[in-house]
Structure 1
């Protein structure tokens, strides 16, 4: 798990290669992507969550977060109201498209090799994190999700288990959600003055309740001197009588810590 430094040329060539592979899969693959978008909201809210738009992070200038809000304002209309019919797959990046200056995107905070830097379209990971989290509380299936390779900031008022987000990078680090049920699901997204809000809605009420939790959380010191953080995510599934009917494995996380593990 020791980090491997990459040259700028290696990163550029690798990005071009993986993007081209994704474009090929988008246009010549057999995945049935979700396309329908509606302003009429489905009546039953199944899962809802919100996250603060602005956070005080060590050494992060606030203009990066204000720019993040601008980027979210552009991206959200591409996903708000999208419907996943049975057998369809929602692709985060296929819906949003390439975040370019021509579309109005500005530089926000982008995590990069254990640190952060200004980057065009920065901050859109907050949106993919939110969508991933609420999806874990529905029958929808996450078919592609990428974990963060670095644990950059210490826990501060954390309300979710470590590693419960989904990093994104256009277009090869995607978030994909498949509908295996017989009913359509609709994604609702919006911002208030302080919060990013998202929910999954459907035409029928929620049939189960979900509780996401972590197991086997640990911090290890590696032979090369750094620290790694690990855990496994599961979810408990309850029926409407609050009886436990299943305990499902979700994913595992391994991230290089960019701060001392004994930090207060």
Structure 2
């Protein structure tokens, strides 16, 4: 992970999601199932309306042979050393990822088409073979059916960032739940997924065709982003301005995600784009190796 040194300390401005009063479902958890039904119905209505109007063409076609050009490849470690009492959830996650990757593998995103993670993977239910895995909710890790498929969404999003595909919708976690032990990707490029209304949505605004290949190996979740033509540019994605800040007894983490655009022929950088600015509440105790700044 490449991290540029932070610049002068700027005032800590917390995102609205961290300063807003608790949601009704947080104050009264028994309302959550009904709220989820409402959100899901609203999203289904949106899907149907977009399809009927022709405004959105959903990517749904798969092919078993590879498109010729590999744009990006990445492997994500399947099992992390966490609480021993919860390691069974890590192993169950692998089962869930096998099911989800089989739905994703080979998906083609043609010019003008839009990819929805939730539409492709579908609802992760016990009837489909999904089991209890680890899910992040309000900063804590809990057991839930289909838990762990966010790792697949993280992988897809990371590969998409290395292309000219357009991220239309992505919801990040409001919390930094685990220390960086063994982290490979920059903090702040992950995704939150809740069927069907918290989604990763990507649109192909180019004249290229893209393909996602995903599979589960012995130790890693693997992914490739492929294309029918080799583009003129490649991309390097990195975190900059990484900071841990303490305010009113709470620790927050923030950074920026940037993407350098590189000309494939010359190897020279021809662009520099800010992708995202992140800020989240840290829910673990930062170790002595982390410099926490009081603000």
Taking structure 2 as the reference length, the TM-score comes to 0.85
Q: Cα–Cα, structure 1 residues 263 and 24, in superposed 2: closer, same or farther, change >3 Å? A: farther
How large is the Cα RMSD of the aligned pairs? 1.5
Q: How does 1:42-121 map to 2 (within 5 A)?
A: 42-58=67-83, 61-121=86-146
> 1:78, CA displacement in angstroms?
1.2
Structure 2: 5+ residue stretches without partners = 1-17, 290-295
Determine which of 166, 180, 200 is the counterpart of 2:225.
200
CA distance in 2, matches of 1:161, 1:99: 28
Q: Cα–Cα, structure 1 residues 140 and 60, in superposed 2: closer, same or farther, change >3 Å? A: farther
Q: How does 1:1-264 map to 2 (within 5 A)?
A: 1-2=18-19, 4=22, 5-29=26-50, 30-58=55-83, 61-223=86-248, 225-240=249-264, 241-264=266-289
CA distance in 1, matches of 2:42, 2:224: 31
CA distance in 2, matches of 1:188, 1:207: 22
> 1:10, CA displacement in angstroms?
3.6
Q: Cα–Cα, structure 1 residues 158 and 45, in superposed 2: closer, same or farther, change >3 Å? A: same
- Please say which structure displays the higher CA radius of gyration: 2
Q: Cα–Cα, structure 1 residues 60 and 17, in superposed 2: closer, same or farther, change >3 Å? A: farther
Q: How many residues align?
A: 263
> 1:222, CA displacement in angstroms?
2.7
> 1:161, CA displacement in angstroms?
1.4
> 1:234, CA displacement in angstroms?
0.9
CA distance in 2, matches of 1:64, 1:255: 25
Matched residue SS, 1:61: helix
Structure 1: 5+ residue stretches without partners = none
